[in-house]
Amino acid sequence: MPVRHVLDSTMHFQDLGDGSPTVFLHGNPTSSHLWRHVLPAVRSGRRLAPDLIGMGRSGKPDIGYSFADHARYLDAWFDALELDDVILVGHDWGGALAFDWAARHPGRVRGIAFTETIVKPMTWEEFPDGGRELFRAIKTPGVGETMMLDFLREGLPGTVATPMKPEDLAAYEQPYPTRKSRLPLLRWARSMPLGGEPADVVARVEAYDRWLAADPDVPKLLIVFRPGPGTMMTPAMIDWCVEHMAGLEVVRHDGVAGHHTPEDQPEAIAAAVASWAARVRGSS
């Protein structure tokens, strides 16, 4: 797995193939391991998937792991690899980071595909019923710290429709052997823009929402499945995307997937991305 020095730390990443780059960004509490079946199945072009700073095999500097911190290290990683004319594929917070990077670097982006990601700030009432009380608890000082100690072991398997293999769960758990090492997971969970908080994340999401609505020249692809455990993209949220994102195409699959769609439906995601990317690249 290649590694690149980034700012004061290092970022590991998967790197397959050559040609025009497609970058796959994971969310919380996963790593580039999330894309292990997707990258080879896409088959064409250069496919890269970094471990976000503090996550997976990447370095764990002594920072606050705010959204801005993640974006700063990701910016430096894109620049270190001199990536341009990029197609971005994002899941969960990886989708949010993809939107954010694209909104700030529109001349370097060819298209954005996303699944189960943070598309807008939400009221507590808009958030799916199953996760509302969970996130209220996570955002409660003291309670959230205790809960996140067992998040991977107990929470991650509860957000997939297909039982996870022990070796895959172990791959996700291995980078977080201590309480301190799990700080990025807690900070990501507490960053969910709910009820106007945290204000800095709400502002960041509102900024990329303005860009998503205003730029039809960057094609966008939303990949959705029949809802499974922990699904965030409700019908109302999908409708919001259709109404507010310029240049959006929606691919709807009959298969069931929980929130971690690349765990449940990697082949379908790869096929959708490959077909759409070929059209996007061919339209240049």
Q: How far is CA 165 from CA 27, 160, 171, 280, in A?
A: 19, 11, 10, 35
Q: Give the range of the structural domain holding residue 111, as residue numbers without chain letter.
A: 3-282
Is 105 one of the catalytic residues?
A: no
pLDDT of residue 152: 62
Q: What is the pLDDT of residues 182-193, one digit of tens each?
A: 999 999 999 999
| Mean pLDDT along residues 85-90 | 98
pLDDT of residue 257: 98
- In the set 12, 26, 33, 259, the catalytic residue is 259
| Mean pLDDT along residues 111-130 | 92
| Mean pLDDT along residues 86-108 | 98
Overall number of domains in the chain? 1
pLDDT of residue 131: 80
Q: What is the pLDDT of residues 128-184, one digit of tens each?
A: 877 888 888 889 998 888 887 666 666 788 899 999 999 999 999 999 998 889 999
Is 119 a residue whose pLDDT tops 80?
yes
- In the set 51, 69, 92, 100, the catalytic residue is 92
Is 259 one of the catalytic residues?
A: yes
Query: Which two tokens mark 56?
Result: 């997976």
Q: What is the CATH number of the domain that holds 225?
A: 3.40.50.1820
- In the set 51, 100, 116, 263, the catalytic residue is 116
Is 282 a residue whose pLDDT tops 90?
no
pLDDT of residue 242: 98
Is 245 a residue whose pLDDT tops 60?
yes
Is 64 a residue whose pLDDT tops 60?
yes
Is 239 one of the catalytic residues?
A: no
Taking each helix axis from N to C end, the angle separating 235-244 and 199-214, rounded to the nearest 10 degrees, works out to 60
In the chain, alpha helices (H): 38-42, 67-80, 93-104, 129-138, 143-148, 166-173, 183-190, 199-214, 235-244, 261-264, 266-282
